[in-house]
Amino acid sequence: MKRANPMRQRLAALGLLSVPMLTYPLLSLPQGEIAGIPAPYLYLFGMWTLLIVLAAVVAERRGK
């Protein structure tokens, strides 16, 4: 029997872990502004981009 594909599992785990990071109640934490830019704006785009970068690292890693 073939073993489950580790890349798919890693990506799925990343997706699962991202759900709480991108929904309430954590979303209500960033408030006010940083360097003139609203904290929620920075948090959402920052977290989102981080997630995409991690996904890219996992997906594009050369399999051994």
Partner 1 sequence: MLSPGFVLFLSAAYLGLLFAVARFGDARADAGKSIISANVYALSLAVYCTSWTFYGSVGRATSGGLSFLTIYIGPTLMLLCVGVIIKMIRISKAQRVTSIADFIASRYGKSQLLAGLVTVIAVIGVVPYIALQLKAVSASLQILFQTSGGEFLPGMIDSTFIIAALLALFTILFGTRHLDATERHEGMVAAIAFESVVKLAAFLAVGVFVTYGMFGGLSDLFQRAAAAPELARLLQMDSSRAGTWTALILLSGLAIIFLPRQFQIIVVENVDEAHLKRAVWLFPLYLVAINIFVLPLALGGLLHFQGQDFNPDTFVLTLPLARGAESLALLVFIGGLSAATGMVIVETIALSTMVCNDLVMPWLLRARWLGVGERKDLSGVLLGIRRAAIILILLLGYIYFRAAGEAYALVGIGLISFAAVAQFAPAMFGGMYWKQGTRAGAVAGLLGGFFVWLYTLLLPSFAKSGWIANGFVEQGLWGIHALKAQALFGLSGLDEISHSLWWSFLVNIGLYLLVSLYSKPDAVEAGQAERFVDIFRHGARDTDARLWRGTASVDELVSLLERFLGPFRARQQLAAYAAAQGTSDWHALPADAGFVRFAEAQLSGAIGSASARVMVASVAREEDLGLEEVLDILDEATQVRAYSRELESKSRELEAATADLREANERLRELDRMKDDFISTVTHELRTPLTSIRALSEMLHDDPKMDLVDRKRFLGIIVNEAERLTRLINQILDMAKLESGRAEWTTAEVDLGEVARETMESLGQLFREKGVTLEGEIPAQGPVVLADRDRLTQVMINLLSNAVKFVPGETGLVQVRVMANDSEVRVEVADNGPGLTVEEYNVIFEKFRQGGNTMTNKPQGTGLGLPISRQIVEYFGGNLWVESRPGAGAKFIFTVPLPASEE
Q: Which residues bind partner 1 (CB under 8 A)?
A: 1-2, 5, 7-9, 11-12, 14-15, 18-19, 22-25, 27-28, 30-31, 33, 35-38, 40-41, 44-45, 48-49, 51-53, 55-56, 59-60
What distance in Å separates the CA atoms of residue 55 and residue 49, rounded to the nearest whole number?
10
Beta strand ranges found along 1-64 (DSSP E): 33-34, 37-38
Least CB distance from residue 5 to partner 1, whole Å?
Answer: 7
Identify which of residues 45 and 64 has a Cβ nearer to partner 1 in the complex. Answer: 45
CA distance 32 to 24: 17
